[in-house]
Amino acid sequence: MKPSSQDRRSEYITGLRELADWLEQHPDVAVPSDERMLLPLLTNTAVEEFAATHGLTIETDSDGNMAVDLRFGCITYHVYGYVDFAEHRKKGEEKQARAWADSNDMVIQPREVASTPSHADRVVAYRNPWRPGVLLCREHGEGWAGMEPLTSDDLPDGGTCTHGDPADPSDVCGRDVLIDAPQTGGAR
Ligand SMILES: [Zn+2]
Q: How far is CA 50 from CA 9, 33, 41, in A?
A: 18, 27, 9
CA atoms within 13 A on the CB side of 125: 30
How many angstroms does the Cα of residue 20 sit away from the middle of ligand 1? Answer: 89
How many Å is the Cα radius of gyration of the chain?
35
Q: In a structure prediction context, what are the per-residue pLDDT tens digits for the chain, which is 188 residues long?
A: 666 888 899 999 999 999 999 999 999 999 988 889 999 998 999 999 999 999 999 999 998 999 999 999 989 999 999 999 888 889 889 999 999 999 999 988 887 766 666 777 788 999 988 888 889 999 898 888 888 999 988 888 888 999 988 788 788 888 998 886 555 544 44
Q: Tell me how far the alpha carbon of residue 172 lies from the centroid of ligand 1, in angstroms.
A: 8
Distance 131 CA to ligand 1 centre (A): 16
| pTM exceeds 0.75 for this model | no
Nearest 5°: the CA angle 162, 168, 173 is 35
